[in-house]
Amino acid sequence: MSNLADIIEQFILRRLSAENSDIVILKRNELADEIECAPSQISYVLSTRFTTEKGFIVESRRGLGGFIRIARLVAPATLYEKVAAEIDEDTPLDDILAIVEYWQSHNLLSAREAALITQYCAMLYDFVVPDRRVPLLRMIFITLGNH
């Protein structure tokens, strides 16, 4: 028989699969009652099995109106390729920097990686004409997806 953490994980994954989006909102106490476990066991599973490294973002609020929001991240390689494909000559630097900032805030890039990419992109916008800049920008994001 599976251990309790496995049961909780599978329950949450089934709920995620049942939703039309990659986000599910649960009530910790209701979930604990349904699975017949302590709310702290739910917290343990969320902190160990639903991490950013494993492709999830978890937002949790405790208390009477508390909830758990679990979002499945798009696979990083696919995410980087999608952004690369959408870059064109009209893409403003602010859009690129907002993407880099968002990825850093969601632990898809380290602070150092984000700083390097930000500086490199700013230089591209300062010194390279748009039609030559686009393939260089795309290369950055495709490289991120490959590593």
| Residue range of the domain that includes 23 | 4-72
39, HSE (Cβ side, Cα atoms, 13 Å)? 12
Note the pLDDT of residue 72.
Answer: 83
Answer yes or no: do 34 and 88 share one domain. Answer: no
Q: Enumerate residue ranges in the chain where pLDDT < 50.
A: 1
Q: pTM of the full predicted structure? A: 0.54
- The residue from 72, 90, 105 where one domain ends is 72
Residue 1 has a pLDDT of 42
Chain mean pLDDT for the chain: 87
Q: Among 52, 72, 92, identify where a domain stops.
A: 72
| Residues 23 and 35 occupy one common structural domain | yes
* Residues 65 and 99 occupy one common structural domain: no
Do residues 60 and 121 both lie within one domain?
Answer: no
Question: CA dist 96 to 82, 83, 109, 112, 140, Å?
Answer: 13, 9, 14, 16, 11
